[in-house]
Structure 1
């Protein structure tokens, strides 16, 4: 007799209410706002506000990202096996958000410690903050399968999540734009922005917990009633073997890594590009970032509809193709071409939304393929490893950029002084990261997407076999 869990489709659950879906989406606001602010501003803050060298500034970010990546599978495993009266995920979210918010505020303070003291101060905060980030974010993401068994409702939940994520990124940039205009002191600008963002993060996380609590309890009652069991404990080695035996997952991970490494590195160096190369102000930079994020938000729903008609690979190719043109065009942009700068930002935003939508919409297909092969659903494992490897890739990329700027002679700003005039070598590094380097990464994502094997037809066959309870035959196009 099979010991596989009974199919959740053997009973009925009430549909998710809009308020529950809104509450779930709200959980991403804090991490999205803080993450967006860090990506766009923190390296520039370290070098041109706090006065740290570029290589040490990049090393701080690498230390934080590596810790963030290492903690992903650990926190994922611990939250899977947490036993409390609040459930498995909620204790992490409730208690982790307080140190998360406090560390974020402290990261934008500039104590009088000297260069070495500041380095250790920010490096320590980066370790604590990124650990706290994982503590709240990974249990939050893992709530998706605990809110519904329904395939389409899970897609809707992720739609709410990404809508809130992009919307909160736009809110962060809009706040930055307003604060940069109203607060004359450059150091105080970032601290005010951090305090407001931390308060929003606290409020939205508790909204998410309160708004999803009853649904999770209801799901738990159904699990007990129908003897549904969570997946068995697996060793780290077993988890790694599962991940690297699934070729479509490796392709999805590569697609996501290429897209987001290109996006994150561009975002990190973009303020240098606008201020040092284009000769524009921080205020103009926030306007440019708003154009990119606003376009991405508007296109999210359009690409989602088109993907149902044309397929995920086709939509990804169209979006990234537009982004490649914009990314390459930034390299040739000259000071004074402000209008063209914003046109390229709009074009890039058309593609950025596909980097949000498509890889994460491919991941459930990969998870169902694994279920077909093994008879078990392993959402936590796949989500944890995808996020972990993405963070390690970004950490490596940021470190390379920081080292390149340092070797190119980038001049950090002395606190309280105007921006330094950068040597041609530093300007070339900034332009190369913006243009050719980012373009190559995006092209790499396109190549990997071409080989992604789970088409709509293949996915329909996977679903048919799952519903029929036939786990012996794997669609041939998905075999590694």
Structure 2
């Protein structure tokens, strides 16, 4: 372990990153975090309580959009690996995808009227939101996937990557908090007009989401240019076929552990966040502003803990940090299941505890994936960040869609009563309240426990990673001497 710094110093890409580069890199996740957070917190309840879709149709909109992502994400990953442009193979996607990304985010918050017949209007809205969802997710991928693949290009240092991801997710969680603060202010400004509330929120967040992408491109351009020059010098020139790349990626055992850890973490996150509005409003008997504050409590804590966990990781390693955060999170999930209406203070305490775990769900898997990529480079001679990050982004979206879809189906099956646009919210039956409590506690707890098992089995430690870098360095030197 003590030999790590000297080993890393031999690798040019392991040089420490300066603060402006880290800030610019972090800013790249601000816009996508704003949109993703608004969607996961508000979109399902917007569909059911504002647009008037049934829970099953609302959940299906999200799931259909992600079926397209199952095709879209890996393809964009491979294409970004192969892109040749004067703006760089990652930056060119971000530059040209940013504006359409913002436009289609905004269009998701319109409530067009297609028919005076309620059933016909339901299906008109359903297909409208499906089409917009597919287009939005396409441009989200075009922007976010190449961005995430920048991490291993900026540094190869084991601990520096954790630090870099701390900046990334500080902006990410900060963007999530900002989106909720905006939501609170806009909901208060336009009280009584839910359609106007979401329309204004969508417009402001769309603008705020586009601008930081260009900050990221500008601030990381020089570092990425240098990394690209090194990659072209040492990488094999031949490009493997797409299906062969998939086969190699999924034969990488540590990669399978990472995607399992990530899927479990984010499925728990998305499931919990999706059901919090229903839990706070229907079980605790509180308001829209209250559930927004609960989500903020989780995310503010997660933001504060990012740099704490990053520092702890340097001492005890990524796996240990993950175990610590998950343990606190599991206790919080169990506590929410037993929470009774009126226990407001305890509700916020449990939300803060959940934030301890959520921050490790952001930090740890994304810090592991660059190590996996270098193991792949050692085996294949190619750096193929795009395909690995493609599957990571795909899993994030699948977790989001699956979480929202399962919540929608569970509410539908439990007898949840949708709000008719313009009408007061109905009283929910006991069966729906029971389903909401199960979704907030036991179900995410089981998912998190599976993730802990996978984290225990993950094999790449700091020492193993140092050995991988040394072998890559030896290969480079051998080629230079030829």
Same fold (TM over 0.5): yes
- Provide the C-alpha distance between the structure 2 equivalents of 1:289 and 1:322, rounded to a whole number of angstroms: 17
Aligned residue in 1 for 2:178: 171
Determine whether 1:56 maps to 2:57: yes
Shift of 1:445: 0.8
Change (3 A) 1:14 1:297: closer
Structure 1: distance between partners of 2:299 and 2:207 = 22
Aligned equivalents of 1:10, 1:313: Cα separation in 2: 25
Q: Which residue of 2 aligns with 1:202?
A: 210
2: distance between equivalents of 1:81 and 1:295?
39
Q: CA deviation at 1:20?
A: 2.6
Kindly indicate whether the alpha-carbon contact (under 8 Å) linking 1:68 and 1:133 is maintained by their aligned counterparts in 2.
Answer: no
Alignment of 1:136-151 (within 5 A): 136-148=143-155
Segments of structure 1 that go 5 or more residues without pairing to the other structure are 1-6, 472-480
- Tell me the distance in 2 between the aligned counterparts of 1:15 and 1:188: 47
8 Å contact kept, 2:80–2:386:
no
Match of 1:410 in 2: 416
In the alignment, the residues of structure 2 paired with residue 210 and residue 462 of structure 1 have an alpha-carbon distance, to the nearest angstrom, of 31
Secondary structure of the 2:441 match is helix
Per-residue CA deviation, residues 406-437 of structure 1 (Å, 9 max, x unaligned), is 12111111112222111111111111111111
Hey, what does 2:141 align to over in structure 1?
A: 134
| Distance in 2 between residues matched to 1:259 and 1:206, nearest whole Å | 29
Counterparts of 1:27-426 in structure 2, within 5 Å, are 27-113=28-114, 114-148=121-155, 153-184=160-191, 185-220=193-228, 227-229=233-235, 232-426=238-432
> Greater shift after overlay, 370-379 or 288-297?
370-379
Structure 2: how far apart are the matches of 1:424 and 1:435?
Answer: 17
1:408–1:425 contact (8 Å) kept in structure 2: yes
2:431 and 2:305 map into 1 onto residues whose CA distance is: 37
Provide the rounded CA distance (Å) in 1 between the counterparts of 2:446 and 2:470: 38
What's the CA shift string for 1:304-352, capped at 9, x where partnerless? 1112222222221111011001101111111111111101001101111
Deviations for 1:243-281, whole angstroms, at most 9, x for unmatched residues? 221212111111111111001011111101111111100
Per-residue deviation at 1:86? 2.5
Report how far residue 13 of structure 1 moved: 9.8
Alignment of 1:427 with 2:433, yes or no, is yes
Equivalent residue, structure 1, for 2:446: 440
Relative to 1, partners in 2 of residues 1:237 and 1:12: Cα closer, same or farther, differing over 3 Å? closer
Alignment partners' CA distance in 1, 2:74 and 2:13: 32
User: Aligned-pair RMSD on alpha carbons?
Assistant: 2.4
- SS of the aligned residue for 2:418 comes to coil
Cα 1:8–1:146 shift into 2, 3 Å? farther
Shift of 1:153: 4.7
Identify if the C-alpha distance between structure 1 residues 13 and 265 changes in structure 2 by more than 3 Å, giving closer, same or farther: closer
What are the ranges of 5 or more consecutive residues in structure 2 without an aligned counterpart? 1-7, 115-120, 478-482
Normalised to the residue count of structure 1, the TM-score between the two structures is: 0.90
Task: Pick closer, same or farther for the CA change 1:213–1:461 going to 2, 3 Å.
Answer: closer
For residues 336 and 304 of structure 1, the distance between their equivalents in structure 2, rounded to whole angstroms, comes to: 36
Alignment check: 8 A CA contact 1:29 1:201 kept: yes
Q: What is the distance in 2 between the residues matched to 1:441 and 1:406?
A: 22
Q: Which moved more, 1:458-467 or 1:253-262?
A: 458-467
**CA-to-aligned-CA distance 1:166-186 (integer Å, 9 cap, x gap):** 111111111112212222122
Deviations, residues 34-65 of structure 1 (Å, cap 9, x unaligned): 00010011000000111100000000011112
Residues 149 and 322 (structure 1), Cα distance of their counterparts in 2 relative to 1, 3 Å cut: closer
- Paired residues of 1:231 and 1:377 also in contact (CA < 8 A): no
Are the structure 2 counterparts of residues 288 and 454 from structure 1 closer, same or farther at C-alpha, using a change threshold of 3 Å? same
CA distance in 1, matches of 2:429, 2:332: 25
CA positional deviation for 1:288: 0.7
Distance change (3 Å), C-alpha of 1:75 and 1:304 = same
Distance in 2 between the 1:13 and 1:460 partners? Answer: 11
Report the alpha carbon displacement of residue 118 of structure 1 after superposing the two structures with TM: 0.7
User: How many angstroms apart in 1 are the aligned matches of 2:463 and 2:14?
Assistant: 28
Q: Structure 2 CA distance, aligned partners of 1:444 and 1:12?
A: 35
TM-score relative to the length of structure 2: 0.90
Deviations 1:445-464 (A, max 9, x none): 11111212223343344344
